Amino acid sequence: MINFLILIIYSFIIYSLFKKRNKYTVGFIFSLFWFGNIVFSNFFFSGYKLSTELYLLLLVSSIFVFLGEFLASNSSKLLQTNHTNEHFFYKYNNQRAKKIFFTIFLFAFLYPISNLINNGISLSVLLSFQGLLSTNNELAMARYSGETSTSLLGQFFLVFVYLLPLFSGVYFFLARKKKFLFLALIPSLIVLLTQNTKLVFIACVMLLVSSFLITSMVYEKSLPKFKKKVYLRAIAFSFLFYVLLIFSFVARLGSFSEETVRIANDKVSNYVAHVPALDLWLLENNKVVNREYDYGVNTFFGFFNAFGIVKREVGIFTDFHYFESNGRVYVTNIYTIYRYLIQDFGILGSILFLFCLGFVFGKVNSLSTYFPNLALSVLSALLFFVLNSYLSSIFAYMSFILSFSLLLFLTKLLSIKKITQTK
């Protein structure tokens, strides 16, 4: 009953934020995203009852993200008032943007090719369905056993795989051609089909969504409005994505049959198992006394790893949690961004961190007229942080950090001139 009451309050907050979604964007998206996670978890795992502590944590987090954004937006009104006579315009070189897009596309396309070559696999496997199945299974097994071969060059190309959808969201508003949105996902799709690396494709989809939404906010001062056919296409794309997930699991099993499809379908459920896993981990974590915090090592692992302070291990977390729902046992080692934050800062520190996230988002968004290039990079990173929060911290991976840094550099490179007019 208490959980249901919390959901009612949560729904009211989302509805209120929806009406002001262009002003409190990250507060609305964060609340809607985690409310959706709860709903999907209850749907897929109806036999598992989530704790009230988890419901309260997510509700309070949403409130504090909104409060941070609210305070930042209102504290920036004075600055905006002082600049009422200044109008800023940025012009961009469309032809240069097109060249940059296809240059990024080329480097991104080299990532799956370099991985195949680096692991001694012929490119001819791309020419047949059976070859894809075999290669997909081989590389998946090698990756989970820690036997895959990676190279510095491959990591370099991976940055462009993530940069491509980021830049595509910006370039779409310059060229107004939808084909660039689809082209942006081709390299990550090839990675999914050949190497069974689903998270790369999922990340690229979210990067594209983040960039698309933020570019609309920065240049049109509102989230985009979609026609009904866009929602139908989104449903069709979701179904296609589901089919691709099934294919990736079938490929890992090495054969295509009714039984392998059934097994793969059960495996897909693990992609929403992060909420019960977080719930179990929280209940265990609450029993720990005299806990020592890591103060940012987990959340900002990419920086610590780059400077050799800590060493990365295979997988997100090495401990797995098992839970039962409706007669089936599920297992996962994905505990969402909350495990990163809580291990670093504790419960209260995590809520304060999310408050700061909302505050920074609101402050940068309110100044986007004056610093659009910086706003594109920072706001896209923060929105992607929210969309990727079901999995991990984006700052735990240097490839993400570099891709957002390059986005800032490229948008500045595209700026022909800034015109300031005073009335």
In this structure, the answer to whether residues 231 and 214 fall within a common structural domain is yes
In this structure, the answer to whether residues 66 and 2 fall within a common structural domain is yes
Position 30 pLDDT exceeds 90: yes
Amino acid letter for position 341: L
Position 123 pLDDT exceeds 90: no
Q: pLDDT band for position 40 (50/70/90)?
A: confident
Q: What is the total count of domains within the chain?
A: 2
The predicted structure's pLDDT at residue 275: 93
Report how far residue 162's alpha carbon sits from residue 364's, in angstroms, rounded to the nearest whole number: 23
Residue with tokens 């992060």: 274
In this structure, the answer to whether residues 55 and 184 fall within a common structural domain is no
Report how far residue 24's alpha carbon sits from residue 18's, in angstroms, rounded to the nearest whole number: 9
Token output for 150: 């990676």
In a domain, 52, yes or no: yes
Give the count of beta carbons closer than 10 Å to the beta carbon of residue 313.
9
Report how far residue 394's alpha carbon sits from residue 94's, in angstroms, rounded to the nearest whole number: 30
The predicted structure's pLDDT at residue 268: 67
Q: What are the pLDDT digits (tens) for 382-400?
A: 999 999 999 999 999 999 9
In a domain, 15, yes or no: yes
Token output for 331: 């297992």
Q: What are the pLDDT digits (tens) for 150-171?
A: 778 889 999 999 999 999 998 8
The predicted structure's pLDDT at residue 18: 93
Report how far residue 182's alpha carbon sits from residue 197's, in angstroms, rounded to the nearest whole number: 19
Position 311 pLDDT exceeds 90: no
Average pLDDT, the chain: 84
In a domain, 59, yes or no: yes
Position 247 pLDDT exceeds 80: no
Report how far residue 36's alpha carbon sits from residue 42's, in angstroms, rounded to the nearest whole number: 10
Q: Please say whether the beta carbons of 244 and 238 come within 8 A.
A: no
**Domain containing residue 335:** 1-80+273-359
The residue-averaged pLDDT of 122-141 equals 66
Report how far residue 207's alpha carbon sits from residue 168's, in angstroms, rounded to the nearest whole number: 10
Token output for 277: 């896993």
In this structure, the answer to whether residues 137 and 266 fall within a common structural domain is yes
Q: pLDDT band for position 423 (50/70/90)?
A: very low
In a domain, 421, yes or no: no
Radius of gyration of the CA atoms of the chain, in A: 22
In a domain, 305, yes or no: yes
In this structure, the answer to whether residues 10 and 106 fall within a common structural domain is no
In this structure, the answer to whether residues 136 and 241 fall within a common structural domain is yes
CA angle 301-153-132, nearest 5°? 100
Position 47 pLDDT exceeds 80: yes
Q: For 92, phi and psi rounded to 5 degrees?
A: -125, 150
Q: pLDDT band for position 255 (50/70/90)?
A: low
Q: Please say whether the beta carbons of 121 and 196 come within 8 A.
A: no
Amino acid letter for position 159: V
Give the count of beta carbons closer than 10 Å to the beta carbon of residue 278.
27
Q: pLDDT band for position 83 (50/70/90)?
A: very low
Last residue of a domain, one of 359, 394, 411: 359
In this structure, the answer to whether residues 279 and 260 fall within a common structural domain is no
Q: pLDDT band for position 248 (50/70/90)?
A: low
The predicted structure's pLDDT at residue 390: 93
The two most distant CA atoms of the chain are separated, in Å, by 71
Token output for 72: 């930042």
In this structure, the answer to whether residues 211 and 344 fall within a common structural domain is no
Q: Please say whether the beta carbons of 217 and 173 come within 8 A.
A: no
In a domain, 103, yes or no: yes
In this structure, the answer to whether residues 233 and 280 fall within a common structural domain is no
Position 340 pLDDT exceeds 90: yes
Dihedral, CA of residue 350, residue 353, residue 359 and residue 363, to nearest 10: -150
Nearest to 403 by CA among 411, 325, 18, 422: 411
The predicted structure's pLDDT at residue 211: 95
In this structure, the answer to whether residues 243 and 287 fall within a common structural domain is no
Low-confidence winner among 114-118, 314-318, 395-399, 405-409 (lowest mean pLDDT)? 314-318
Report how far residue 288's alpha carbon sits from residue 211's, in angstroms, rounded to the nearest whole number: 40
In a domain, 9, yes or no: yes
The predicted structure's pLDDT at residue 299: 92
Q: Is 287 exposed, middle or buried (0-12, 13-18, 19+ CB in 10 A)?
A: exposed
Helix (H, G, I), strand (E, B) or coil at 91: strand
The residue-averaged pLDDT of 220-243 equals 77
In this structure, the answer to whether residues 137 and 223 fall within a common structural domain is yes
pLDDT: which is higher, 130 or 35: 35
In a domain, 212, yes or no: yes
In this structure, the answer to whether residues 250 and 304 fall within a common structural domain is no
Helix (H, G, I), strand (E, B) or coil at 349: helix
pLDDT: which is higher, 178 or 7: 7
Position 131 pLDDT exceeds 50: yes
The predicted structure's pLDDT at residue 77: 59
